[in-house]
Every structure is written in C-alpha cells, then in structure tokens.
Amino acid sequence: MHEAHIELQHRIEELEIQSALQEETIQSLSDTIARLQQTLDLQQAQLRLLYQRLPDRADSGGEPFNPASEIPPHY
C-alpha cells in the first residue's frame, strides 16, 4: 500500500511539473503573439501611409515614388 502511495505522489508531481511548463509555454506564446500584433499594426499603418502618398507623387509629376526614402523617423 505504501508503494502505491509513493507512486501516486510521484505521478502527481510529474503532472504538476508538466502543467507548470505548459503554463510557461502558453505565456511565452501569448507574449510573442502580442509583439507580432504590434508589429503588424505598425506595418499596416505604414502601408496605409504609402498608399496615401502614391497618388500625390503620381499627380505631381515629380520623382518616382521610392519607399526607401519614406522611412519614418523612429527607424
């Protein structure tokens, strides 16, 4: 009976360890998704800005549009 109790305790401890590791992994994935969402939001804003400026350049008869020259100041 005592051996069965020790085995059960060992299995419970292993499950607790596994659960803790899964929680850590889930939190890490959640943090990564949040960072990716921020990056995506920034890229979408930049793309909207580029599309807004395209007609201005085409209508002005100026230089061809060069996205590399339009890098926002925070880069």
Measuring CA to CA, which residue among 21, 65, 74 is closest to residue 45?
Answer: 74
In tens digits, the chain (75 residues) has pLDDT values of 789 999 999 999 999 999 999 999 999 999 999 999 999 999 999 999 998 888 765 565 656 666 666 666 665
At residue 7, the pLDDT reads 96
Q: Are 49 and 38 in contact (CB under 8 A)?
A: no
Put simply, whether the predicted model's pTM sits higher than 0.75 gets the answer no
Show contacts of 45-53: CB within 8 Å, 24+ apart.
Answer: 46/72
pLDDT at residue 75 in the model: 52
Q: What is the CA radius of gyration of the chain?
A: 27
Place of tokens 């929680």: 23
